[in-house]
Amino acid sequence: MSSRNKLFLAGILTAGVLSAPASAFDFGRPATPAEIKLWDIDVDPNGRGLPDGSGTVAQGKQIFASYCAACHGDNGQGGIKDRLAGGQGTLASNMPVKTVGSFWPYATTLYDYIHRAMPYPTPGSLSTDETYAVTAYILSLNGIVPADGKVDKESLPKIRMPNRDGFTPEPEFDPAKLFRRK
Amino acid sequence: MTSDTKIESLPRPADVSRRGFVGGLSAGILAAASEPARAESLADVPDRGPGADLGAHSERSRFVKLDRIPEATPGKRNVDPSDAINSKTPHQKLVGNITPTDLHYERSHSGVPDIDPAQHRLLVHGMVQKPLVFSVEDLKRMPSVTRVVFIECTGNGWENWKKADPDVTVQNTHGLVSTNEWTGVPLKFLIDLVTKDKGAHWMLAEGGDGAGVDRSIPLTEEIVNEAFVAYGQNGEPLRPAHGFPMRLVMPGFEGNLNIKWLRRLKFGTAPWMTRWETARYTQLLASGKARQFQLRMETNSVITHPSGMMQIQPGYNRISGLAWSGHGKIAKVEISTDGAKSWKQAQLSQPVLSKAQVRFQMDWVWDGKPTKIVSRSTDEQGNVQPDRQSFIAAMGTNALFHYNAQQTWSIDEAGRVRNVLA
């Protein structure tokens, strides 16, 4: 920081004013497009953020057996960690079973979550195609993608999950209404 | 509270048998001590003498045992730490408003990463004019805010949705809320640095843990004005379990939004519908529909002294506990000692801070008959902590998160305090 900027900062801190133009100061450094791409992993419901590539249910079945079944069970059920399949029709019962098939509203979230967080010991270790394949397999376990199916960045956002309409936003933070009046 | 008001509020000595007074205290404040009082005469008090050498930092007395307890989902207590998903604050052994740093509750989704601050970076990008990368040192050079706030896991209270296990402590039932002083950079300062687009009303905050926990945050005026990226906790750098070297602090909002090990803020126009805001932290209602984006933590309170698994004696007992609200300041706390039939206003420790836990207390003379004690808080917005029956009528018993019904403790004829639904 230049001494001139230090003086600016000292003056602002003394006055307790934080709303002065912050760009007057030299904090941080510009992020390059290449490094942003490395970290910009989020996928939204419209499919923005999904990479090129694809994966089939058949490929996913093998990858799942190698990397996922130990915690989630052979068919996404009966494992020591979250159940991934079944449970449809249980949400209003006294013993709701929340799985990808019964509860998750967006298929895009499944790709995002597998990519960022799974497999638990080595998150991010699956390739793009492997991640699509596991996504396809888990969807097939729930009857959402056929056994000979395949998913990619075009098809995944178009999948309508069984519980897509199962959510009611809290009025205070309803995305459809918040910020609309401004 | 000052000692003057405390003395004024005590019953006159004639009302209080020595046995009852000591009994009440030992069930409460002194529950943390491992040794019962044995120095009946001053002659029994050990002689003075030179003590231990001065150290680089001070440890707790060997007579004080304070621990969090690692737990899993409701009913899964006493689990192996490798199976734990959270670790709860021992409110039954604490006094005052501030949680000791090492006892602040913890909820981590992929363990506690071991981050070298020199290699940690925060990327702020998306719908901005100038995407920037910040180091920890960059943040520490910026203007800062320091604020005492509670952080509460949305799972706090989840032991009591469907049933009340009698043999649990307040640590089991309410150990997923804590209050610390946090220091960091106002979110607004960072927003101005990158020059956020006016139309970008949502922000994705992402952690540097194995799970890359991420949440979509609506940039309401309140959130833009109050959220900050913290690097300090009770005067020192964050502890690793609480997000070292930097975390988001969102006063009054779901613990999960206070992203730990923060490494990315991205601005956009709509929520990203991450796993945590769809599959996880949504509340399943009796209809089978789930409430989503219930981001604010509700008005809440719990009696910590006496509380579950303590035993009290007839006579004078001081009732004490904690109250908090994500809506602002606590306005009042009322206590019932007759199972919610009649209520009396408790004293609040001053000053009462917005979106921070506040200690309340009230004197009580127990007549030795079985009864139930319960607290209910009201915040400055007029929100009243609901009784369990009306709360369950509104939310059902499957919501799992955002339980803020009044907590009732039963007391039997032997003075044993137990967890009950109401």
Q: How high is the ipTM of this complex?
A: 0.89
Interface of B with A in 113-132 (CB under 8 A): 123-125, 130-132
Q: Is residue A78 part of a domain?
A: yes
**Bigger pLDDT: B306 vs B16:** B306
Contact B259, B206 (CB under 8 A): yes
Contact A105, A163 (CB under 8 A): yes
Domain region containing A82: 54-164
Q: Is residue A120 part of a domain?
A: yes
Instruction: State how far residue B79 is from chain A, nearest Cα, in angstroms.
Output: 14
Instruction: State how far residue B115 is from chain A, nearest Cα, in angstroms.
Output: 16
Q: What is residue B301's three-state secondary structure? A: strand
CB contact under 8 A, B131 and A36: yes
Q: What is the pLDDT of residue B37?
A: 66
CB contact under 8 A, A98 and B284: yes
Q: Is the pLDDT of residue A12 over 90?
A: no
Measured between beta carbons, which residues in chain A are less than 8 angstroms from residue B197? none
Q: Is B247 exposed, middle or buried (0-12, 13-18, 19+ CB in 10 A)?
A: buried
Residue B400 identity: L
Q: Is residue A40 part of a domain?
A: no
In 10 A of CB A146, how many CB atoms? 11
Q: Is the pLDDT of residue B23 over 60?
A: no
Q: Is the pLDDT of residue B94 over 60?
A: yes
A47 to chain B: closest CA residue = B272
Which of B131, B186, B202 lies nearest to residue A30, judging by beta carbons?
B131
Q: Is residue A58 part of a domain?
A: yes
Q: What is the CATH number of the domain that holds A113?
A: 1.10.760.10
Residues counted in chain B: 422
Cα A103–Cα A107–Cα A111 angle in degrees, nearest 5: 120
Cα–Cα separations (whole angstroms), residue A78 to A75, A82, A85, A102, B334: 8, 9, 10, 16, 46
- Average pLDDT, whole number, for chain A? 90
Measured between beta carbons, which residues in chain A are less than 8 angstroms from residue B285? 168
Query: What percent of chain B lies above the pLDDT cut of 70?
Result: 91
Q: Select from B165, B143, B212 the least CA-distant residue to B418.
A: B165
Q: Is residue A155 part of a domain?
A: yes
Please write the tens of the pLDDT for every residue from B153-191: 999 999 999 999 999 999 999 999 999 999 999 999 999
Contact B99, B149 (CB under 8 A): no
Query: What percent of chain B lies above the pLDDT cut of 90?
Result: 89
Q: What is the pLDDT of residue B36?
A: 60
Q: Is residue A39 part of a domain?
A: no
In 10 A of CB B188, how many CB atoms? 20
Number of domain units in chain A: 2
Q: Is the pLDDT of residue B72 over 50?
A: yes
B381-386: long-range pairs with CB below 8 Å, 24+: B381/B325, B381/B327, B381/B328, B382/B331, B383/B298, B383/B299, B383/B325, B383/B327, B384/B299, B385/B298, B385/B299, B385/B300, B385/B301
- How many whole angstroms separate alpha carbon A11 and alpha carbon A13? 6
B340-348: long-range pairs with CB below 8 Å, 24+: B340/B372, B340/B374, B340/B387, B340/B406, B340/B408, B340/B422, B343/B376, B346/B319, B346/B321, B346/B375, B347/B1, B347/B5, B347/B9, B348/B323
Beta bridge partners of B320: B305, B361
Residue range B120-129: average pLDDT?
98
Residue range B6-15: average pLDDT?
40
Contact B63, B32 (CB under 8 A): no
Residue range B82-106: average pLDDT?
97
Q: Select from B221, B243, B214 the least CA-distant residue to B106.
A: B243
Please write the tens of the pLDDT for every residue from A117-163: 999 999 999 999 999 999 999 999 999 999 999 999 999 999 999 99
Residues A61 and A147 in one domain: yes
What band does B120 get if pLDDT is binned at 50, 70 and 90? Answer: very high
Residue range B230-255: average pLDDT?
98
CA Rg, chain B, in Å? Answer: 23
Residue B137 identity: E
Measured between beta carbons, which residues in chain B are less than 8 angstroms from residue A117? 109-110, 210-212, 275
Measured between beta carbons, which residues in chain B are less than 8 angstroms from residue A76? none
Q: What is the CATH number of domain B108-171+179-283?
A: 3.90.420.10
Cα B67–Cα B71–Cα B72 angle in degrees, nearest 5: 165
Q: DSSP assignment, residue B28?
A: T
Instruction: State how far residue B240 is from chain A, nearest Cα, in angstroms.
Output: 19
Q: What is the pLDDT of residue B81?
A: 87
B266 to chain A: closest CA residue = A40
What's CA B360's distance to the chain center, in Å?
15
Domain ranges for chain B: 3-34+296-420, 108-171+179-283
Q: What is the pLDDT of residue A181?
A: 60
Measured between beta carbons, which residues in chain A are less than 8 angstroms from residue B294? 170, 173
Residues A69 and A108 in one domain: yes
Contact A127, A56 (CB under 8 A): no
- How many whole angstroms separate alpha carbon A131 and alpha carbon A49? 14
Instruction: State how far residue B220 is from chain A, nearest Cα, in angstroms.
Output: 8
Q: What is the CATH number of domain B3-34+296-420?
A: 2.60.40.650
Q: Is the pLDDT of residue B200 over 70?
A: yes
Please write the tens of the pLDDT for every residue from B46-69: 999 999 999 999 999 999 999 999
Contact B179, B357 (CB under 8 A): yes
- Tokens 């904090």 belong to residue: A27
Q: What is the pLDDT of residue A26?
A: 78
A49 to chain B: closest CA residue = B272
Longest CA span, chain A: 67
Judged by a CB distance cut-off of 8 A, whether residue B210 touches chain A is: yes
Q: DSSP assignment, residue B359?
A: E
Q: Is residue A157 part of a domain?
A: yes
Interface of B with A in 76-115 (CB under 8 A): 109-110
Q: Measured between alpha carbons, how far apart are the two ends of chain A, in Å?
A: 38
Interface of B with A in 231-270 (CB under 8 A): 263-264, 266, 268, 270
Q: Is residue A35 part of a domain?
A: no
